Structure 1
Amino acid sequence: MTKDHSTTEILLVEDNPGDVRLVHEAFRDADFDATIHTAIDGVEAIDFLMDEASPFPDFVLLDLNLPRKDGLEVLQEIRGDAKLQRLPVLVLTSSTAREDMAVCYEEQANAYLTKPTSPEEFIELVRSVEEFWIERVRLPPCP
């Protein structure tokens, strides 16, 4: 690991309780040492990121279809804020629409991941995220 602290801090932005549970279980089953903070809509996600008392996440797992403020709006706010703009954002969505993928990359998402359909596939996705985003990638320091 290239990080100075032992636990990875992740902000999961997801409004579906079943998907939140699957993500938590997948991280646990993959033996990924992470603290997952959950925001159930885009407004809550931005509030978490702007709150100086909240831990700064190592990356964001962002769903696109969210109440109050959708995932694309959250991504645009992150990229428009000097404090947040370098924060890795991994879109994790059920959408396979090429248009959604294209606009997310235009708005500088770091990755576009389609939600797996089985718990086993979720675990495999989590292991891939850990290997790439935590073990391989060198990220800039927190602001």
Structure 2
Amino acid sequence: MTILIADDDADDRMFLEQAMRQNGYDQGIQFVEDGEDLMEYLRRQGRYNEVNAPWPNMLILDLNMPRKNGFQALSEIKDDPKLRRLPVIVMTTSSADEDVLKTYNLGVNSFVTKPFNFNRLVEMVGTLKTYWMDTVKLP
């Protein structure tokens, strides 16, 4: 299983990767740093060809990124017939009701708020892993 993580914050990427490894997921993690790179990755453009960009089974998406934010990227993904089945989990620092509503209106599959405590992040990733990797059947 390949998980694509779109997040511009290097520390957040590092902590998320460590939390995933502590939950037994230590391979198949790919990173992009903004919405433009994300869309190039998903569309196999630029440096992201099929050889160095395995197709993701799910996307973990931050909302606050430069060049193209998570809302814009999510809208493009869910409007594209080739991409819309990709499960998207928004993981962001926001817990604002308007962000939750907006992302669900755009078609997100899950919305979670990033915890500020690493141990809580490990627990959250474990919950996500149990649900998204062990329980549901993905396309």
* TM-score of the pair, normalised by structure 2: 0.92
Q: What amino acid sits opposite 1:58 in the alignment? A: N
> Would the aligned equivalents of 1:32 and 1:127 in 2 still touch at CA under 8 Å?
no
Q: Deviation of residue 106 (structure 1)?
A: 0.4
The CA distance in 1 between the partners of 2:86 and 2:21, in whole Å, is 23
1:47 corresponds, among 13, 16, 40, to 40
- Percent identity of paired positions between Structure 1 and Structure 2: 36
The CA distance in 2 between the partners of 1:114 and 1:11, in whole Å, is 18
Alignment of 1:48-127 (within 5 A): 48-51=41-44, 52-53=49-50, 54-127=53-126
SS in 2 for 1:132: helix
**Corresponding residue for 1:3?**
none
Unaligned 5+ runs, structure 2: none
2:20 corresponds, among 9, 27, 35, to 27
User: CA offsets, 1:59-86, max 9 Å, x none?
Assistant: 0000000000000010011001111100
* Number of positions where the alignment pairs a residue of Structure 1 with one of Structure 2: 133
**Corresponding residue for 1:9?**
2
Q: Deviation of residue 33 (structure 1)?
A: 4.1
Q: Deviation of residue 20 (structure 1)?
A: 0.6
The CA distance in 2 between the partners of 1:59 and 1:105, in whole Å, is 16
1:132 equivalent in alignment to 2:125: no
Q: Deviation of residue 25 (structure 1)?
A: 0.6
Q: What amino acid sits opposite 1:115 in the alignment? A: K
The CA distance in 1 between the partners of 2:75 and 2:23, in whole Å, is 31
CA-atom RMSD in angstroms: 0.9
The CA distance in 2 between the partners of 1:46 and 1:96, in whole Å, is 25
SS in 2 for 1:69: coil
> Would the aligned equivalents of 1:27 and 1:34 in 2 still touch at CA under 8 Å?
no
SS in 1 for 2:16: helix
* TM-score of the pair, normalised by structure 1: 0.90
List, as ranges, runs of 4+ consecutive aligned residues in structure 1 with deviation greater than 4 Å: none
The CA distance in 2 between the partners of 1:93 and 1:43, in whole Å, is 18
Q: What amino acid sits opposite 1:87 in the alignment? A: L
